[in-house]
Amino acid sequence: MKTSCVVLAAAAFGIAQIVQSERQHRQQLALHAEDIHQELISQAVSNPALRVMWTAPGELPDEEYTKILHCNRLISFWSVKFRAGLLDTASLRAQARWVMAREAGRTYWATLGSFREEEAADRVDRAFNAIMATEHAATVAVDAMAT
C-alpha cells in the first residue's frame, strides 16, 4: 500500500510539472507573438505605404489612423501582459480608464473594439475586452452627461 501511495504522489507531481511547463510555454509563445505584432505596428507607423495598405478606403485620415496604431500597440501590450498574468484585473481597469480618458483611446475602441471582441479566442480575451469595453462605455457616458 505504501509503495502505491508513493507512486501515485510521484505521478501527481510529474503531471503538475508538465502542466506548469505547458503554461509557461504558452506564455512564452504569447510574448513572442506580441514582439512580432509590435514590430509590424512599428513598420506601419513609420511607413505610409503600409498604413495605406491596412486602412480601409475612406475609413480614417492618415493622422487619425497613426494614432489608432499607437493605441493598438499599447492595448495589445496590456492584453499580452494580462494573458501572461503580469497584469491583474484592477491594474488593467486603471490603465483602461487612463487610455479611455484620451480621445485617441476612445476612437481606437469605437473603431476596433468590436473587431477585438470578434477575434477573442478564449475567456482571457473576453475578460480583457469586457474590462476595456466597460471603461470605454463609462467614459463615453460621462462625456455625454457633460455636454
Q: How confident is the model at residue 103, as a pLDDT? A: 92
Q: Which of 23, 14, 26, 65 is nearest to 44 (CA)?
A: 65
pLDDT of 94 above 90? yes
Task: Judge residue 100's burial from the number of C-beta atoms within 10 Å of its C-beta, 0-12 exposed, 13-18 middle, 19 or more buried.
Answer: buried
pTM for the whole thing?
A: 0.74
Q: What is the pLDDT of residues 56-76, one digit of tens each?
A: 666 767 778 888 888 999 999
* Mean pLDDT of the chain, nearest integer: 84
